[in-house]
Structure 1
Amino acid sequence: MAKEYHSKDFEWEELRKQIENDPSLSYHLQQPIDYSEPSQSQQDSSAAWNTFHTTHSTAKFFKERRYLFKEFPDLSSSSVFLEVGCGNGSTALPILRTLETATVYACDCSIQALDSSIHNIRRASNRKPPLESRFHPFHCDFSTNAFPPWLACNYCKQTSLTPQHHIPDVCCNAPTDLNSFLKDGKCCIGGVDVVTLIFTLSAVPFNKMPAAISECFSVLKPGGLLLFRDYGLYDMTMLRFEPDQKMGYREYKRSEGTRSYFFSLDSARNLFKGAGFIECPDSLLVALISCLLSQLELDYCCIKSVNRRNGKAMRRVWVHGKFQKPV
């Protein structure tokens, strides 16, 4: 039987006070004055994530996000998804299983991750048509490159993602199984209903996050949602980093070269609102309507778990958010 979804095993403010009053952890609070390392190139970033997914390619590492629909109930009312940073398919698979008419477009900067996602979804498919027929992976690093125009061409973006005329130019870099769709005269798929950013944005250098979020905004249909979950400030994984692994304010680098940023509510709110997303409506009337229609939210998810091997309690902190593109 599935456990009830919960997110408040402890209060984040109590954790903050404890961490900020511990002298041994003071280096996590300091903002570096100078960044001595050059910015990571797209090629280096992709290579690091290829190494990561090659190292963690076992079935033990793959954990399907079975509680996704309890975390984000809005998924049930959508049909066209873009998963950014799909990894091994742990988010795409429950969407495809639960929603029989859903189509999931999924990108990652790592070829190894894309191969793993295809393998895991193909292995889990026991239906006809198979789940993989509604899963369209493609290679893209959204922190550096724009999404391909077959997702949403410039014309459709300028007309609120509602194509009124067909454009003769057909995008040639679409996945193979989309080529026939595009050759029918359609310029693109017309945008998506939902973008999922699940433990993806934290891997992007902080100075590249605004442009990356703007890319997500650009391919959403008006009224579409961006569902966000990522590492929160003072999560236990942040506290494990050593001082020499710190790359910036709340930014760290792992041994294989991948990065991780830890979000506060304010940093997440400012990034998404800066790109044009709605999180807190201005007027009372708009707030009421938005609450009834979409229940927009941003909060810390604080989970306490126990390591089975050593019995040590682990305090996990994630930032959970839901943002909307204005209608």
Structure 2
Amino acid sequence: MSEETEYFSKDFDWEELRDEIEKDVSHRHHILPFSPSPSPSSSSSSEAWKSFHKRHSTGRFFKERRYLLKEFPELLCCGEFSKVLEVGCGNGSTVLPILRGKQSIVVYACDCSTEALKRARQMIDNADEGSVKHRFHPFFCDFSVNGFPNRLICSSCRKGSLTKPSDCLPDVKGSEDAGLDELSSFEGDQCCIGGVNFVTLIFTLSAIPFQQMPFVIAECLSVLRPGGLLLFRDYGLYDMTMLRFQLNKRVGFREYVRSDGTRSYFFSLDTSRDLFLSAGFIELELEYCCVKSVNRRNGKKMQRVWVHGKFQKPI
């Protein structure tokens, strides 16, 4: 990581925060063993997020993630017409910086909410750069249940190493979308786009039930080209938002549900490593990002913890 990024991601020591939290009896319910009970299905979790996006249809709830290219500079120095799959794109707060940062990159973005996809399309259409919207291809996909459509990478390409890229469609260089369900409308035996160079999982994995995470990560691996990168950023263990949850909101080990039914999981480095390496990825980077910020309204200091990771599909 660059010196600038490193500076802003190490405002405090995570081990010191851990010791402080684990000694505080008021946070004991976050640490105690959890007896699992029947958890909501992945479909009910998806429904909760669909309702969430309907309530926040203006998109004001999300801010454009401009830090993304500093954290993942590979998105700037990649080859011409590289392909990105943004998993759980929401209103497009991650997609827009990527499209602006690299003038030839092509982004395929999916979400389980059509409201979110519509908002993402509006955000991209309203961008000043004329070429941005022609490189953005949104599609509906409840990826925690059904996986990704074969239009991204067909069955034969999933099994092999893309030794014959000419068998697949050429890179998209400005074609219009057929709609938000563009990719999933294709049959599995038709030609695919040949896989993607990057998959981004930015505050997405934590939003689905823990039991579904291995399936989603395996799907991400399958649509990547050999040597491709998965870029991961999500909530870290003992983040401020985790400590706000009450005992009755705990639905699993380090897993919580909000009053609106949406879920949040908080990752340790060990859990993250186990999930991705078990799927077949190679670990390139994995660390806690520890950032101090101040609430401008009340002056309260906040300690945010995120997990930053880069994983590669074997060549």
Asked whether the equivalents of residues 110 and 117 of structure 2 are also in contact (C-alpha less than 8 Å), the reply is yes
CA 1:145/1:55 → structure 2, altered by over 3 Å: closer, same or farther?
same
Give the SS at the match of 2:76.
Answer: helix
Flag the 1:41–1:4 CA change in 2: closer, same or farther, 3 A: closer
**Secondary structure of 1:160 counterpart:** coil
> Pairwise CA RMSD of aligned residues?
2.1
Match of 1:143, SS state, is helix
**What secondary structure, in the 3-state scheme, does the structure 2 residue paired with 1:144 have?**
helix
> C-alpha displacement at 1:47, in angstroms?
2.1
1:156-167 to structure 2, matched below 5 A, reads: 156-163=157-164, 166=167
Aligned-pair CA distance for 1:186: 6.5
Which runs of structure 2 are paired with 1:229-248 in the superposition (5 Å)? 229-248=233-252
- TM-score w.r.t. the length of structure 1 is 0.85
Q: Write out aligned runs for 1:166-315 (5 A).
A: 166=167, 176=178, 187-279=191-283, 296-315=284-303
Q: Counterpart of 2:305 in structure 1: which amino acid?
A: V
Measure how far apart 1:142 and its partner are.
Answer: 1.6
Task: Report Cα offsets for 1:212-266 as digits up to 9, x if no partner.
Answer: 1000000000000000000000000000011100000000001111100000000
Are 1:11 and 2:16 counterparts? Answer: no
Displacement after TM superposition at 1:132 (Å): 1.4
* TM-score normalised by length of structure 2: 0.89
Q: How far apart, CA to CA, are the structure 2 residues paired with 1:137 and 1:88?
A: 11
Q: Which runs of 5+ in 1 are unaligned?
A: 168-174, 280-295
Q: Displacement of 1:128 after TM fit?
A: 3.2
1:289 counterpart residue number: none
CA contact (8 A) 1:166 1:186 kept: no
Distance apart, 1:77 and its partner CA: 2.7
Which residue in the other structure is 2:172 paired with? Answer: none
How far, CA to CA, are the matches of 1:41 and 1:95 in structure 2? 29
Shift of 1:56: 2.3
Q: 2:59–2:119: 8 Å Cα contact kept in structure 1?
A: no
Q: CA deviation at 1:16?
A: 0.2
AA of the residue aligned to 2:96: L
- The amino acid of 1:313's aligned partner reads K
Correspondence for 2:35? 33
Q: Quote the residue 2:174 is aligned against.
A: none
Native 8 Å contact 1:163 1:190 kept in 2: no
Matched-pair contact (CA < 8 Å) for 2:62–2:93? yes
Q: Report the AA paired with residue 69 of structure 1.
A: L
Q: Deviations over 1:98-127 (max 9, x none)?
A: 111110000011111111111111111x23
Q: What is the letter of the counterpart of residue 205 of structure 1?
A: P
Quote the offset at 1:33 in angstroms: 1.6
